[in-house]
Amino acid sequence: MKLYYSPGACSLSPHIALHEAGLAYTPVLASTKSHKLQDGTDYYTINPLGYVPLLELDSGERLREGPAIVQYIADQVPDKQLAPANGTLARYRLQEWLTFIGTELHKGFSPLFNPATPDDYKPLVRERLLQRLQWVDGQLAGKQYLMGDQFTVADGYLFTVTNWTQPTNLDISGLANLAAYRERVGARPAVQAAMKAEGLLK
């Protein structure tokens, strides 16, 4: 398998999932600025949408979209319990979290990374994101992870997206449950390994 990624982008989520799963893969750096690979290949020839992540399977099939990719990874190693079994209510709960993180948080951050976003609009964006994260903070009360005591691929995604609070100046210092959770997830060996692989940790 090949994972096309850009350091610190949402592709960190499947990168974490691959390390948690213990699956063999080749990381391929795809710049989100130049849309070129290190060998000069035009990334648009691999993913016409131009963004990461993209997972290329050994069969040559390509999977786009982080939530789909992380569920595929989890299903390769069911014994690791990175996702509940298909067809169970717990699996739909996982998909509920992946969808929420993708639409309400991940996409919520997008205007803060876009140089074209007017400065007077950014405080509104931050306020909405903070409201969503306050809700997440409440959901984490008394829990190790989003789904309870078991780490899942949704946790890798939430960790990745909440890493963006720093570069976007979103103050989450008042969210104690989220802070403790981020510390817990960040201390996992697979998370550390994925971040080192992306040059995010020394």
What is the edge-to-edge ordering of all strands in the sheet holding 26-29? 26-29, 2-5, 54-56, 62-64
pLDDT at position 202, please? 78
pLDDT (mean) for 109-131 = 96
HSE of 174, CA atoms in CB hemisphere, 13 A: 7
pTM, 2 dp: 0.96
Cis peptide leading into residue 48 (ω within 30°): no
CA distance 197 to 19: 10
pLDDT (mean) for 118-129 = 97
Q: Is the pLDDT of residue 163 over 90?
A: yes
In sequence order, which residues have a C-beta less than 8 Å from that of residue 146 and are 6 or more positions away?
97, 139, 140, 152, 154, 155, 158
What residue ranges do the domains of the chain occupy? 2-81+190-197, 89-188
- Output phi, psi for 116, to 5 deg: -80, -10
pLDDT (mean) for 18-29 = 97
CA distance 182 to 139: 14
Average pLDDT of every residue of the chain = 97
Architecture of domain 89-188: Up-down Bundle (1.20)
What number of H helices and E strands is found in the chain?
8, 4
Q: Is the pLDDT of residue 91 over 90?
A: yes
CATH number for the segment(s) 2-81+190-197: 3.40.30.10
